[in-house]
Structure 1
Amino acid sequence: MSKQYKYTALLTIAGSDSCGGAGIQADLKTFSALGCYGTSAITAITVQNTLGVSGIHSIPAEIVKGQIKVVMDDIKPMAIKIGMVHSAELAVAIAAVLKEYPQIPVIFDPVMVSTSGHRLIEKDTIAALQKELFPKAKLITPNLSEAEILAAMKINNVADMKEAARRMITAGCNAVLVKGGHLQGPDLFDVYLDKNGFEKTFRSTAISTKNTHGTGCTLSSAIAAFVGLNNDIYVAIEKAKAYVHEAIVAGQDVKTGEGHGPLNHLFDPQKLFKHEME
């Protein structure tokens, strides 16, 4: 009998972006670029382009649950990325399915505010996310606007980022990566903190471009990919940040639409990794 192989499969649970730069589309591009097999469960359909979001249509909770379960039971992903969950009902529904698969690591990007500044989440959802989904996630990756909402404080510098991370850990998160891309300056800082008290600040060089649409989605899906490829969380973050940096550089001078253009996710695509089955 010939040998059988499997791919490193990943699942993204997120919203669809009609202009292709963020959400499900960015996640699947990222998974493919990093040599992984992507699957998806769509939580919402957004009406958006590079200029902003003009509408959101929610997918019924039972349909979202069904999408997740059929993938989990058949393809068995090695890691899960969660993006936009914009209602309390959806948060409860997703948590109900994921509790059946506690061994699979979850990277949760709590999408609340788009790159163009549009609020994407219903007001009554935040408490549901914190109660239902945050405890199930290996890592939460809020940007500054989202961290301000979750930590109930203003963030103006790295010290504030560290305090916000501490507040989120106290509220029940296992680990947090506060993304500082919106702070002004020549260098960018991301702050990691976990429930064991380990803290690390990641530093990178800012790139002069407005093509940053989907950066947060891309980073969290890249972290999920590297976790699925058996890297520990710190290495996964380092590799994901390097990938995002290079994807921004590769797309910084490309005009896609009139607003915030996307990254170049496929600047150096990897072949799908095949693992021999036991």
Structure 2
Amino acid sequence: MSALARPRRSALYLPASNARAIEKARELACDVVILDLEDAVAPEQKEEARAQAVAAVKAGGFGPREVVIRANGLDTPWGAEDLAAAAQAGPDAVLVPKVSSAEDLAACAGAAGSLRIWAMIETCQAMLRLDALAGASRAHRTDVWVIGTNDLAKEMRCPLTPERTPLLPALSFAVMAARAHGLSILDGVYNEIADAEGLAAQCAQALAFGFDGKTLIHPSQIEAANRAFTPEPGAVAWARTIVSAFEAPQNAHRGVLKVEGRMVERLHLAEARRLIAVADAIAAHEGGG
């Protein structure tokens, strides 16, 4: 399955210091489990959390969910050991915080062995270097960007409202840069756990911007994210119609078709195939496949 077709509708952060939460995560409906060694773990618990994350990855049992370890930064006392431990444990990827330059990516990739890298895009410097960062991402085993809206808003000194008005240009340009270089990209978290309506609205906003999914801070948020980022049946049916039309022998070399009264260009074919692949992967995931 290609990185862009893999469902990442819901990526749940869990403090790796909480063994009970990790155990429950094996049964949750999220697409991604992020075992967090950074923000959710107090300094005195860092080493214990690292050991528990490594043990959880080695024990497995997460089914079709991707398992990612979020490390501390290399500029902290724990970052280098986090990356070395993650490389030894072998999760699907390691998520590295505050990536602001190509040099940051290179350093993390060098310390993480052969692991795939996910990068937190959450600083003002990163936002001013998006195209260069996206290009460097492909060169340093980085398939996925995760927007860190909390850190970005803090650095900008702007309010993080549900509408996220001050951040909208940054979100839009981050998606553009990711798409220009073939990366997946996940939206930041919604902090108000009890505000289901606000979460649904922000998921809809993220989908409209083109994000692949949303990072979450509580299991109660999974259903809303999955619902928002699951392709609608009608859209999937139309995608299959487009693919079938272009695969007909008489249309093999045509760039534009009239399908059910609508003009469809060949440029729509790749997106139709991607949408079908995502829908099929979600169906397999939810069916236990």
The TM-score range, normalised by the shorter chain, is: 0.3 to 0.5
Which structure has more helix as a fraction of its residues? 2
TM-score normalised according to structure 2 size:
0.40
Q: Which structure has the higher relative contact order (CA within 8 Å, separation 6+)?
A: 1
Query: Highest Rg: 1 or 2?
Result: 2
TM-score normalised according to structure 1 size:
0.41
